[in-house]
Amino acid sequence: MLSCPWFKDYLCKDDFKTSKGGACCFPELRVGVFEEIVPMGISPNKISYRTPGTHLSPGEFHKEVEKFLSQANPEQSDTILLDCRNFYESKIGRFQGCLAPDIRKFSYFPSYIDKNLELFREKRVLMYCTGGIRCERGSAYLKAKCARKCSSSRVASTSTWKSFLTVFTKGNCLFLMSVTPCPTTVTSMFIL
């Protein structure tokens, strides 16, 4: 992909993570063109990945998370730490103090936000997900509904996670902490 001119402005070698393993990890790998990689249940023309929160640097995001976690009573804070992933991903590992919605798939996210809109109104929302896809659209949706400010970052330190960093395959997960971890891992986080 790095040699393909279509991707030269979007990808670099750091966008690819390797692990020891073989074809057994992805025996049914398929490549295709889809309107959405992770369906949200709303047309991408209405809520676009092109209008997400503003990206923060990893350091800026971590300072925001540390500030949130250092508060005496985070429940009374004007900031919410929101995990945009599915419940089974959140159960394996998440940021301490985060709000982890009990949603089975991302198309339930808008409904969750709509039902809990007052919780998010006029709050700063720190959002994160596994690879950025859900945060891009999720932050755009939340911003359109009620957020007062939007920002985001792409890299999270492994030291901030409550449990293990994982890669999901069909019915399985690979625990990345079982091999020597690098100091950072690619993910996406947004602040609203």
Domain range for 117 is 31-191
Contact between residue 129 and residue 187 where contact means Cβ atoms under 8 Å apart: yes
**Token match 């996210």: residue?**
109
Asked whether residue 18 is assigned to any structural domain, the reply reads no
Residue 157, H or E segment: strand 151-157
CA 2 to chain centre: 24
Asked whether residue 14 is assigned to any structural domain, the reply reads no
Q: Using CA atoms of 41, 39, 130, 12 in order, give the dihedral in degrees to the nearest 10.
A: -130
Query: Which of the residues are catalytic?
Result: 129
177: Cβ contacts below 8 Å, ≥ 6 apart = 158, 164, 165
Q: How many domains are contained in the chain? A: 1
Closest CA to 150 of 109, 111, 98, 191: 191
Query: Mean pLDDT over residues 105-126, rounded?
Result: 91
Summarised one tens digit per residue, pLDDT across range 130-186 is: 777 888 888 889 888 876 555 554 434 334 444 444 444 444 444 444 334 334 343
CATH number of the domain at 103, please.
3.40.250.10
Summarised one tens digit per residue, pLDDT across range 159-174 is: 444 444 444 444 444 4
pTM of the model: 0.67
Asked whether residue 106 is assigned to any structural domain, the reply reads yes
